[in-house]
Amino acid sequence: MWLEEQIFTPMNVLNKYLLGLGTLKQECFKVVLKAEGSNILLVGVHGPTIPCEEVSVKHLGNKQYNVTYHVKEKGDYTLVVKWGEEHIPGSPFNVTVP
């Protein structure tokens, strides 16, 4: 298994977007890997018309990462999370930003 069970899924976090003064807020989720060996965590968010403007992946140590993203338009998004060349379970995630 790639992810520890207590980690929230990106889909649940993305669905919690709130509208504030017409701008979608930035959100964050945490990934904790159980995978062996070293690799790179890759995250991409593609929206209704353009890719996500900003995605940040911060390594916290001990195979823990914080992923922060910011989208500016409502609609359907595809969130891809990979450890090297392999998708984590559930990826790609299909989410809707209201």
**Over the stretch 25-78, which tens digit does the pLDDT of each residue have?**
566 777 777 766 778 888 998 888 877 778 888 888 887 888 888 887 888 888
Residue pair 27/71 in contact (Cβ under 8 Å)? The answer is no
Residue 22's pLDDT is 39
CATH topology of domain 10-97: Immunoglobulin-like (2.60.40)
d(CA 98, CA 88): 25
pTM for this predicted structure: 0.70
Instruction: Indicate the domain borders of the chain.
Output: 10-97
d(CA 95, CA 98): 10
Query: Peptide bond preceding 92: is omega within 30 degrees of 0, i.e. cis?
Result: yes
